[in-house]
Structure 1
Amino acid sequence: MERFTDIESLLPHRKPFLFVDSIESYDEKGCVCTRKFTDEDFFFKGHFPQYPVVPGVILIETMAQGGGAALSLQKTFAEGSLFFLATVDKVKFRNQVRPGDTVRMEVTNLRVSPKMVKQSGKAFVGDVLCAEAEWMCLVGSAN
């Protein structure tokens, strides 16, 4: 399986709110995606200027985007489908993510139906677990 990097073809998100660089692997069970956070990311200017850290909510969004992008790549839903975050559960932040860190997201599909996706994910920098969560997205369209 080849690494997939044309994430804009899979998600409606755009910079500065697109947080997936690549899909490394995927199947019906889940996916592995990556995102390198850099000094250019908008939130570091205020979180925190003297000691920049990726906000926890951004790590959750990053995992959810990765999971949604992989489902879009597999054509699980109609083209142009939107994923609306509905619930977030079992969240734990275990280590900080800083500018220059590449996050590897391991996302598991817990339930996928035509109108809903439930996934769990873990975010790692190297072998260090930084965050984990479960979330549910409702699937809709812009129409």
Structure 2
Amino acid sequence: MPENRKFSVPLEAIDEIVRVSESGITATKMIHTEEPYLEGHYPDFTIYPGVFIMESVNQTVDAYVARVLGADRIADLVAVMSARFTSPVLPGDTLQVSCQVAVQGDDLAVEANCRTAAGAAAARLKLMYRITGGGTR
């Protein structure tokens, strides 16, 4: 990683939007060994924390809302229906976050499948968001 790389606050949990459609979005996040939040998580087996995988999903949903529903709309997480973390995401991995989205009035039902670039299933989440701002769709 370049020495001049700056870490931002809050966490930049996605690096690139790969695909956007009416029914979903895919984004990626490269996990760099030098990222300060990895230090000590865990000392002998460093992994990308599950809560950060959740944040990667949240930021992917935010990008979907801005691009598909409008930049004046905001997605607020209101329910975690299920969250299953199935394999670790390690430094050097690229996390791919694929979200299938169903608009239900002012709500979004999101099913997120997270994988490493090697194809290992890392997490599967079912979430409900409330859309606010900009009127209803």
Do the structures match in fold with TM over 0.5? yes
Q: Is the 8 A contact 2:65 2:73 kept in 1?
A: no
Taking structure 2 as the reference length, the TM-score comes to 0.80
**1:28 — aligned with what?**
22
Q: TM-score, normalization: structure 1?
A: 0.77
Aligned residues: 125
Deviates most, 94-103 or 46-55: 46-55
Instruction: Give 1 or 2 for the bigger CA radius of gyration.
Output: 2
Structure 2: tracts of 5 or more residues without a match: 1-7
How many Å separate the matches in 2 of 1:90 and 1:81? Answer: 25
Q: What are the superposed Cα offsets for residues 76-113 of structure 1, whole Å, 9 maximum, x if unpaired? A: 03x34332222112211111001111011111002343
Q: Which amino acid aligns with 1:90?
A: S
Q: Secondary structure at the match of 2:29?
A: strand
Give the aligned partner of residue 75 of structure 2: 83
Which residue number in structure 2 is paired with residue 42 of structure 1?
A: 36
**Which of structure 1's runs of 4+ aligned residues deviate more than 4 A?**
none
* Alignment of 1:109 onto 2:101: yes
Residue identity matched to 1:111: V
Alpha-carbon distance in 1 for matches of 2:60, 2:74: 13
Give the conservation status (yes or no) of the 8 Å contact 1:116–1:137: yes
- Give yes or no for contact 1:120–1:134 (8 Å, CA) kept in 2: yes
RMSD: 1.9
Which digits, 9 at most, give the CA deviation of each residue in 1:101-142, with x for residues without a partner?
1011111002343x332211100012111100011122336x
Q: CA separation in 2, counterparts of 1:116 and 1:39?
A: 37
Which residue identity lines up with residue 97 of structure 2 in the other structure?
A: M
2:55 counterpart (39, 61, 75): 61
